[in-house]
Structure 1
Amino acid sequence: MDATADELAGVVDLFGGLTRVELERALAEAAYRADGQAVDDAALEATIDEALESFALVRYDPASEGDGETIANSEALLVPGPTAFPTVPDHAEDVPHILDVDRRHPDREALGEATRERFIDAVAEAITADETDRLRTLLDVSYDLEAWAPIDLADERRRLEDALEE
């Protein structure tokens, strides 16, 4: 089973957020239900990394929400990002009944702030590397991010526009 970034987001969306290991397990279950198919681990890792790079998935650290014992010991979650069009892959609709994972409800403000920080890093990397295509993509993503989370990216957008004009 080769999942797309939107399908990864669709599976994650069923739960509100999954750790990387839980996402891999969920996709393995869906693949097995689809005529005993297997997940190509290397392809899945690459797809997850690409989804994070494109903001189809975003990493969220629940530890940033508070200082309670449970939250502090939590792993980072992957949640559907602003560029995703979450699509549940065939045979994955029953995965929430198979996995023993409670639905999660990430704090939108903390999630938005974490994504904003990741976006700022991505902008800096693209400017340093003088990657014109990436700069254009990030400019488009900036609008998606602002619609998706309560953040303001006007300064970063100006940096992107200035870098594209040079």
Structure 2
Amino acid sequence: MSIPTDTGDELAAVADLFGAVTRAELERALAELAFKQGSETDDGAVSAAIDAAIENYYLVAVDGAEREEALLAAGPVAFPTLPDGAEDLPHILDIPDRDPDRTALVAAAERRLRADAARAVDAEDADRIAQLLDVSYDLETWGGTDVSDVRRRLDDARENHN
């Protein structure tokens, strides 16, 4: 079947319930939601949804020296919206509450944006360039960081390749 969420906003909300989660913890949370909703999860669909949420900046992955696995936290484009039944997840799952380092989250999102922007410009990918322009504004608001240089490069690429 499918995953029990429809949007990156919902995946971000599930991660946000705990502050941040590992990918495996998010997969377990989604499986629990599916069970609560009377359906089953498709591992491929769950993995694809998480990948899409990361690619589209609903989730930000941040590494930590004390962990083997990156943590996923709500990202700059997310408007976390809890899916039905998610409010019970902290009582059901043995996932610790975490307080991810905000500076590290912002830095990770900014690094990704810079790398993604360079790839999109090099590939002359107009759709991705437009998407990343929007992300740049969201990142500045969400993270209090200045990525106007990235936005100028994306803007220039968009204007010169249309």
Normalised to the residue count of structure 2, the TM-score between the two structures is 0.92
Identity across matched positions, percent: 54
Following superposition, the deviation at residue 74 of structure 1 comes to: 4.0
For 1:66, the equivalent position in structure 2 comes to: none
Aligned counterpart for 1:52 among listed residues 47, 51, 54: 54
Q: Which amino acid aligns with 1:106?
A: P
Q: Give how far 1:123 is off.
A: 0.1
- Would you say how many aligned residue pairs link Structure 1 and Structure 2? 157
Structure 2 residue corresponding to 1:6, chosen from 3, 6, 9: 9
Q: In the aligned structure 1, how far is the partner of 2:81 from the partner of 2:149?
A: 32
Partner residue, 1:123: 117
Give the residue type in structure 2 aligned to 1:148: W
Query: How many angstroms apart in 2 are the aligned matches of 1:5 and 1:136?
Result: 18
Contact 1:57/1:78 (<8 A) preserved:
yes
Shift of 1:89: 1.1
Secondary structure of 1:94's partner?
helix
3-state SS of 1:87 partner: coil
Q: How does 1:1-166 map to 2 (within 5 A)?
A: 1-2=2-3, 3=5, 4-35=7-38, 37-63=39-65, 71=66, 73-166=67-160
Question: After superposition, what is the alpha-carbon deviation per residue over 1:80-136, rounded to whole angstroms, capped at 9, x for unaligned?
Answer: 111112111112211111111121111111111111001001101101110111111
Offset, 1:150: 2.9
Q: Deviations over 1:39-74 (max 9, x none)?
A: 1111111111111111011101122xxxxxxx2x34
Give secondary structure in 2 for the equivalent of 1:62. Answer: coil
8 Å contact from structure 1 (residues 82, 144) kept in 2: yes
Equivalent residue, structure 2, for 1:68? none
Instruction: Answer yes or no: is the 8 Å Cα contact 1:62–1:106 preserved in 2.
Output: no
User: Aligned equivalents of 1:143 and 1:105: distance in 2?
Assistant: 24
Do the aligned residues in 2 keep the contact of 1:33 with 1:91 (CA within 8 Å)?
yes
